[in-house]
Amino acid sequence: MIYPQNFEQKIGFDKIRTLISEKCLSPLGIEKVNDMVFSSNYQFITGQLEQTDEFVRILQGEDEFPANFFFDVRYSLKRIRPEGTWLDEKEMFDLKR
């Protein structure tokens, strides 16, 4: 817990979160952004920066990154967990994409 509770607003972190949310391609990304919190942990920040650098390299690579067709299939996958259940045609198509 960071003190004071409005710390993120004071440093403008909430504005950064809003800007990032506006660029998200799916509800999954928005959820991830909403879960972000300010951190001063060096190892955590370094790990996040390494992941960011890796993704930038992927985006700059020769092959175009498939940035379309992000579907939240979590509900469908939870629903088919019990034996004897299955995905309908649309759910299967979304999962394939």
Could you tell me if 88 and 54 lie in one domain? no
Instruction: Count how many domains the chain has.
Output: 2
What is the pLDDT, as a whole number, of residue 8? 83
Domain check: are 81 and 44 in the same one? no
Evaluate whether 3 touches 40 at the Cβ level (below 8 Å).
no
pLDDT of residue 92: 76
Which domain range does residue 60 map to?
1-65
pTM above 0.75, yes or no: no
Predicted local confidence at residue 20, as pLDDT: 93
One-letter identity of residue 61:
G
80 plus 97 within the same structural domain: yes
Model pLDDT, residue 2:
64
Q: What is the pLDDT along the chain (97 residues), one digit of tens a residue?
A: 567 788 888 888 889 989 999 998 888 889 999 998 888 899 999 999 999 999 899 888 877 777 776 777 777 777 777 777 777 787 777 777 6
56 and 87: one domain?
no
Q: Which DSSP letter does residue 65 get?
A: P
